[in-house]
A = this chain, B = another copy of it.
Amino acid sequence: MRIGIVGGTGDIGEGMAMRLSQTHDVRLGSRDVTKAGEASRECHLQVEGRGLPCAIDGSSNQEAADFGEMVILAIPFKHLVGTLESVSGLEGKVVVSPVNPMERREFFTYVPPEEGSAAQLVQRLLPDSKVVAAFNVIAANRWKALDEPLDYAVPVCGDDPEAKRTVLDLVAEVPRLQGYDAGPLGTACMVECITPLLLNVARYNKMRDVGILFR
């Protein structure tokens, strides 16, 4: 599958690119094409350095959006609206939101937009795309730790069953990663708010990069 990662030069985008480019064609997009090229070279170095295949190229965000059958929005919440206004042509595509709207106050707090969740905001801005919330609760450092399996749960929310199935199939390809259908897009708030919870758990228990498993 062709996967475009918008905002791919952030930690989470680069980490996802490293894992997914072993089995898919990935276009890693950025506002800054030079940075995208550097991030792409770093991915090649890390992945191919382990004797694994790596199909990845750096590009602009728009080229990543054009390239992908699936487009992943690896963007901090504060840049979500601005970035989506700067790219076009996402109609009909599977658009994956791993975005968690949160703020660091006295503790990490979930601060959803009025639509109810970041994923629902994306769906409002992209009414003709098939928006799926997924990969919200895996720390960037875990994606990038290529020598360790990603032994985590990935709750997946979306209103389009076929798009959700495509994402669940992608999850299933990553060793140990366990995808779960968490329901329609309206359930995304319950997934997005796990991340500030995990950041609090990490902070108050002196842990790092905490993830979840379902059992």
A187 to B182, CA, bound (A): 22
* Residues from 92 to 140 in A contacting B, C-beta threshold 8 Å: 106-107, 109-110
Q: Is the C-beta of A180 less than 8 angstroms from some C-beta in chain B? A: yes
A151 to B183, CA, bound (A): 25
A44 to B90, CA, bound (A): 62
For A109, list chain B residues within 8 Å (CB).
186-187
As for how many copies of this chain the complex holds, the number is 2
Contact present for A204 and B190 (CB under 8 Å): no
Contact present for A189 and B180 (CB under 8 Å): no
Q: Is the C-beta of A76 less than 8 angstroms from some C-beta in chain B? A: no
Evaluate whether A215 and B110 lie within 8 angstroms (CB atoms) in the complex, with A181-B204, A189-B193 already known: no
Q: Is chain A's interface secondary structure helix, strand, loop, or mixed overall? A: mixed
For A189, list chain B residues within 8 Å (CB).
110, 193
Contact present for A182 and B155 (CB under 8 Å): no
For A3, list chain B residues within 8 Å (CB).
none
A163 to B153, CA, bound (A): 31
Q: Is the C-beta of A198 less than 8 angstroms from some C-beta in chain B? A: yes
Interface residues on A, range: 35 or more
A213 to B197, CA, bound (A): 13
Contact present for A181 and B155 (CB under 8 Å): no
* Residues from 166 to 206 in A contacting B, C-beta threshold 8 Å: 180-184, 186-187, 189-191, 193-194, 196-198, 200-201, 203-205
Supplied contacts A106-B186, A180-B204, A211-B214, 8 more A-B pairs, CB within 8 Å:
A109-B186, A153-B212, A180-B205, A181-B201, A182-B200, A182-B204, A207-B214, A213-B214
14 contacts between A and B (CB under 8 A): A107-B184, A109-B187, A110-B189, A153-B212, A155-B201, A180-B201, A180-B204, A180-B205, A182-B200, A182-B204, A183-B200, A191-B197, A210-B214, A212-B214
